[in-house]
C-alpha cells in the first residue's frame, strides 16, 4: 500500500480535497486503483449533527454514514462509493481509545496521546486503506498545520513514514497545499506564507515531498524557483494551482505539470499511460455550453453555498450532458414568506426545493412548490422539498387547509407527513432516521422510471418523517401519482403530477450519487423540462 498524505497551510479552504481528488483522478487514468480517506480533527464522531451554516453540506454515503462534504468530491472524481470508515474524526478515535481503556485493553498502563491515540490513528488509516483493495490511498488531513486539534494526526502520519519507508522504497509521500498571495498594485506573488507554513510542518518532523501553490493566477517560474530553494523541494515538485473556470479542469492542470509522474517515480511504480480523454470531453462540454437556464434553489441555508454543494455539482454534470449552463440562484425561503413567491420566482426557468430540518422557512418552501404547480414551472422537490409539495397540494387542491407535517405541527388535523407507526415510541431520534442507500421500485412508464431507465434503483436517504399512509388515497385520487416506493411498499419515494410538464418530488437525495459522466436523472429531467419550455428543445 502506498500513502499520499495531503496537508494544508496558511489558511483553511485552499482546496486540499479538490487537489487530492484531482490527483486521484489522474492516477486512476494511469491504471491505478485509488481510495481516499478524510481526517477531520473535530470531536464529533460524524458530521450528522453539524449546522450547515458552519460546516456546509452533510454528505451521505451508501452505508448511511453522515460525513464531511469532501468525501462527495472524492466520490465524484474517483467515481467510487466510499464508506463511513473513510471519514476519520477525533471523536471516533477517542471513543475507541476510551472504550478500550474501560475494558482494560491497556493492561493498567497510563493512556496517553502518544502512543495510544497515535497508534489508534495509524491502525485505522491502515485498516481502511487495506480493506479498500486500492493501490494508493489519498489521506487528507483537515485543518491547517499548527492547529492544536491536528497535532495527534500529524504525529501519527509522521510515524507512519518512519515505519513504512525503507532505504530502498518509499511508501509514504507528503503533499503540502499552501497559499501564494499577491500583494500591492503590481501583483507581486509572495512566498513568505509558504515558507513559514513549511517551517511549521518541519518543526513537527515532516518534510514535504511536493508543494501545491494556490494562487489567483499561474505561479511565475522565478517564484517556483524561490519556493524550491527555501522549502527544499525540487522545482518540478512545486505545482502551480491557479483559479480555474471549473474545478473539473484541475486533473488536466496537474497532468500537464507532471504531478503523477513525480509521485509514481517517488513510489518506484510504473508511470502507466495516461488516458483522460473521457474527462477532457466532459470538461469541454461543461465549459462551452450553447444554452442557459436559471434555476432557483429555495433553501434555508443559502448564505453558505457549500450547504447545497452536491446539487450544484449535479447541475454541472447536467450542463455537460445537455450543453445547457445552469445558472443557480439561491433564494432564502424566509424571503418568499416576506415578499411572496411571484415577486422572487417569476424570472426563474425552474425551481428546486432541497432538503433540510426544522420549522424555519417551511412556509416559504411550501409557497415555492405551490408557485411551480400553479404556473407549470418545472419543479424538483428533494426530501423536505418532496414533502412540502405534498403539503401544498393537500392544502390548496384537496382543501385540507391545516395540512402539515407533524414535525412542524404535531397537532395538525391533516398530518400528510408523519412518523410511521413503527417509528413512534422510539425515544432515540437517531433510531428513527433513515440513512444511506435503499432500494426503490419505480413505475417504468413514469417520468422517473424513464429517466432512470430501470424498474429499481438504489438511492441515498437522510430523513425521519414519511408520507402518511392514511393520506395516500386522497392524494392519488386527486391527481398525484406515487411512481416510486420502497421495496416493501410502505414508504412513498417519488411523487409526480402528470398534468405538469415536470413536477417531481423524491424522498431520497439523487444529488449524492450524481457523477460527471452520469448526472442525477432527476436533475437532468428538471433541466430538460426547462430547456423545452424556454427553447422548444426536446430530448
Annotated ligand binding at 148? The verdict is yes
User: How many H helices and E strands in the chain?
Assistant: 19, 23
Determine contact, residues 422/470, Cβ cutoff 8 Å: no
Annotated ligand binding at 12? The verdict is yes
Annotated ligand binding at 384? The verdict is yes
Annotated ligand binding at 513? The verdict is no
Annotated ligand binding at 226? The verdict is yes
- From 383, 438, 459, 461, active-site residue: 383
Annotated ligand binding at 477? The verdict is no
3-state secondary structure of 384: helix
Nearest to 389 by CA among 497, 524, 478, 476: 497
Annotated ligand binding at 164? The verdict is no
Residues 224, 222: Cα–Cα separation, whole Å: 5
Annotated ligand binding at 425? The verdict is no
Annotated ligand binding at 30? The verdict is no
What is each CA distance from 421 to 424, 447, 470, in whole angstroms?
5, 30, 11
All residues at 6 or more sequence positions from 450 whose CB lies less than 8 Å from its CB, including other chains:
444
Annotated ligand binding at 415? The verdict is no
Annotated ligand binding at 386? The verdict is yes
Active site residue 383: yes
DSSP string of 110-178?
A: PP-IIIIIHHHHHHHHHHHHHHHT-SEEEEEE-S-TT-GGGHHHHHHHHHHHHHH--SS---EEEEEEE
- From 57, 155, 363, 511, active-site residue: 511
Annotated ligand binding at 13? The verdict is yes
Nearest to 353 by CA among 395, 391, 401: 391
- From 86, 116, 509, 523, active-site residue: 509
Annotated ligand binding at 234? The verdict is no
Annotated ligand binding at 188? The verdict is no
Residues 385, 261: Cα–Cα separation, whole Å: 46
Helix or strand run (H / E) with residue 417: strand 415-418
Annotated ligand binding at 182? The verdict is no
* Cell 464531511, residue located: 68
Residues 321, 459: Cα–Cα separation, whole Å: 21
Annotated ligand binding at 339? The verdict is no
Annotated ligand binding at 420? The verdict is no
Annotated ligand binding at 532? The verdict is no
Annotated ligand binding at 70? The verdict is yes
Annotated ligand binding at 179? The verdict is no
DSSP string of 249-306?
A: GHHHHHHHTTHHHHHHHHTT--------HHHHHHHHHHHS-SEEEEEEEEES-TTSGG
Q: What are phi and psi of 437, to 5 degrees?
A: -80, 130
Annotated ligand binding at 19? The verdict is no
Annotated ligand binding at 361? The verdict is no
Annotated ligand binding at 99? The verdict is no
**Pairing mode of beta strands 415-418, 404-405:** parallel
All residues at 6 or more sequence positions from 87 whose CB lies less than 8 Å from its CB, including other chains:
37, 38, 40, 46, 47, 65, 67, 68, 71
* 404-405, strands of its sheet edge to edge: 404-405, 415-418, 466-467
Q: How far is CA 358 from the centre of its chain?
A: 21
Residues 238, 172: Cα–Cα separation, whole Å: 18
Annotated ligand binding at 140? The verdict is yes
Annotated ligand binding at 193? The verdict is yes
Annotated ligand binding at 15? The verdict is yes
Residues 172, 438: Cα–Cα separation, whole Å: 37
Nearest to 77 by CA among 40, 34, 47, 38: 34
Determine contact, residues 127/93, Cβ cutoff 8 Å: no
* Known binding-site residue numbers for Mg(2+): 70, 140
Instruction: Give the residue numbers of the binding site for L-glutamine.
Output: 356, 384-387, 407, 464
Which residues carry a binding-site annotation?
12-18, 70, 140, 147-149, 190-195, 226, 244, 356, 384-387, 407, 464
Binding-site annotation: residue ranges for UTP? 12, 190-195, 226
From the annotation, which residues make up the binding site for ATP?
Answer: 13-18, 70, 244
Q: Looking at the annotation, which residues are catalytic? A: 383, 509, 511
Binding-site annotation: residue ranges for CTP: 12, 147-149, 190-195, 226
Amino acid at each position: 500500500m502506498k500513502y499520499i498524505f495531503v496537508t494544508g497551510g496558511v489558511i483553511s479552504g485552499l482546496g486540499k480535497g479538490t487537489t487530492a481528488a484531482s490527483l486521484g483522478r489522474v492516477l486512476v487514468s494511469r491504471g491505478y486503483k485509488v481510495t481516499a480517506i478524510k481526517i477531520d480533527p473535530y470531536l464529533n464522531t460524524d458530521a450528522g449533527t453539524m449546522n450547515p451554516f458552519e460546516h456546509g453540506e452533510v454528505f451521505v454515503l451508501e452505508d448511511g454514514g453522515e460525513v464531511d462534504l469532501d468525501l462527495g468530491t472524492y466520490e465524484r472524481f474517483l467515481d467510487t462509493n466510499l464508506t463511513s470508515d473513510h471519514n476519520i474524526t477525533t471523536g471516533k478515535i477517542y471513543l475507541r481509545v476510551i472504550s478500550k481503556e474501560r475494558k482494560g485493553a491497556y493492561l493498567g498502563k497510563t493512556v496517553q496521546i502518544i502512543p495510544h491515540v497515535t497508534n489508534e490513528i495509524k491502525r485505522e488509516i491502515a485498516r481502511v486503506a487495506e480493506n479498500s483493495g486500492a493501490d494508493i490511498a489519498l489521506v487528507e488531513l483537515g485543518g491547517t498545520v499548527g492547529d492544536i486539534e491536528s497535532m495527534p494526526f500529524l504525529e501519527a502520519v509522521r510515524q507512519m513514514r518512519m515505519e513504512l519507508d525503507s532505504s530502498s522504497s518509499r511508501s509514504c509521500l507528503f503533499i503540502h497545499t499552501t497559499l501564494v498571495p499577491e500583494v500591492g498594485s503590481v501583483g507581486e506573488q509572495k512566498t513568505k506564507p509558504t515558507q513559514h507554513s513549511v517551517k511549521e510542518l518541519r518543526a513537527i518532523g515532516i518534510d514535504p515531498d511536493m508543494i501545491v501553490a494556490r494562487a489567483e493566477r499561474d505561479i511565475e517560474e522565478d517564484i517556483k524557483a524561490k519556493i524550491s530553494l527555501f522549502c527544499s523541494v525540487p522545482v518540478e515538485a512545486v505545482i502551480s494551482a491557479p483559479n480555474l473556470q471549473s474545478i473539473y479542469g484541475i486533473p488536466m492542470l496537474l497532468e500537464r505539470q507532471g504531478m503523477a509522474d513525480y509521485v509514481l517515480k517517488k513510489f518506484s511504480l510504473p508511470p502507466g499511460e495516461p488516458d483522460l480523454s473521457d474527462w477532457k470531453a466532459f470538461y469541454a462540454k461543461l465549459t462551452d455550453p450553447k444554452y442557459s437556464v436559471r434555476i432557483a434553489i429555495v433553501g434555508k441555508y443559502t448564505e453558505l453555498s457549500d450547504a447545497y454543494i452536491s446539487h450544484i455539482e449535479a447541475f454541472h454534470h447536467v450542463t455537460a450532458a445537455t450543453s445547457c449552463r445552469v445558472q443557480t440562484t439561491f433564494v432564502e425561503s424566509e424571503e418568499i414568506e416576506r415578499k411572496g413567491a411571484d415577486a422572487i420566482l417569476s424570472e426563474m426557468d425552474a425551481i428546486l426545493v432541497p432538503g433540510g430540518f426544522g420549522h424555519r422557512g417551511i412556509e416559504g418552501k411550501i409557497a415555492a412548490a405551490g408557485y411551480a404547480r400553479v404556473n407549470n414551472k418545472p419543479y424538483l422537490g428533494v426530501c423536505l422539498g418532496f414533502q412540502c409539495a405534498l403539503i401544498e397540494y393537500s392544502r390548496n387542491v384537496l382543501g385540507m387547509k391545516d395540512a402539515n407535517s407533524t414535525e412542524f405541527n404535531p397537532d395538525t388535523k391533516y398530518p400528510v407527513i408523519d412518523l410511521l407507526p413503527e417509528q413512534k415510541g422510539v425515544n432515540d431520534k437517531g433510531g428513527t432516521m433513515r440513512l444511506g442507500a435503499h432500494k426503490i421500485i419505480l413505475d417504468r412508464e413514469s417520468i422517473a422510471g424513464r429517466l432512470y431507465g430501470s424498474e429499481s434503483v438504489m438511492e441515498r436517504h437522510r430523513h425521519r418523517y414519511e408520507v402518511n399512509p392514511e393520506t395516500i388515497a386522497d392524494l392519488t385520487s386527486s391527481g398525484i401519482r406515487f411512481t416510486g416506493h420502497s421495496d416493501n411498499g410502505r414508504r412513498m419515494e417519488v411523487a409526480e403530477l402528470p398534468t405538469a410538464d415536470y413536477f417531481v418530488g423524491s424522498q431520497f437525495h439523487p444529488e449524492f450519487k450524481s457523477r460527471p459522466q452520469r448526472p442525477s436523472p432527476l436533475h437532468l429531467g428538471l433541466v430538460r423540462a426547462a430547456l423545452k419550455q424556454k427553447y422548444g428543445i426536446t430530448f
